[in-house]
Amino acid sequence: MLIGQYEHSIDAKGRMNFPAKFREDLGDSFIITKGLKPCVAVYSMEGWKAFEEKVNRQPEAKAMELRHFYFASATEVEPDRQGRIVIPSHLREYANLEKEVLVIGTAPLAEIWNKSAWKEYNATLTAQRMMETLDSLNDF
């Protein structure tokens, strides 16, 4: 299960050691692409195929925008023997990934964040805000 967070560094070539626990959950290769927030989204191959199917069921105008945002920036990655993946420059630029990054597990997928951007965003996730969100779900 993709939960928790792990601190890593990324080198000038865009290589980073991807958490072993997440590699076990994601499989031998996985998809990285733009996230909705300024981060890189990480999908298992199975999760990506389900996402593709969901996008392709949308009306063409909506599907095209989603394809442009997600599919055009997507890359399949396979960790090397040392567990490293290479994040392409367009995704590093999009998420402002520099030296210090966090890999965040969000259950259905993982995200790679600039460490300071994650701290800033995470500070907005207050208990009060989460209670309001949970109340709106009506299932809790």
- How far apart CA 70 and CA 34 sit, in angstroms, is 6
Alpha carbons 33 and 55: distance in angstroms, whole number = 15
CATH number corresponding to 2-114: 3.40.1550.20
Domain ranges, ordered by start, for the chain: 2-114
- Report pLDDT for 140: 53
Summarize pLDDT for 16-53 with one digit per residue, the tens: 999 999 999 999 999 999 999 999 999 999 999 999 99
How much is the pTM? Answer: 0.92
Matching residue, tokens 């392709």: 56
Q: Which of 23, 28, 12 is nearest to 98 (CA)?
A: 12
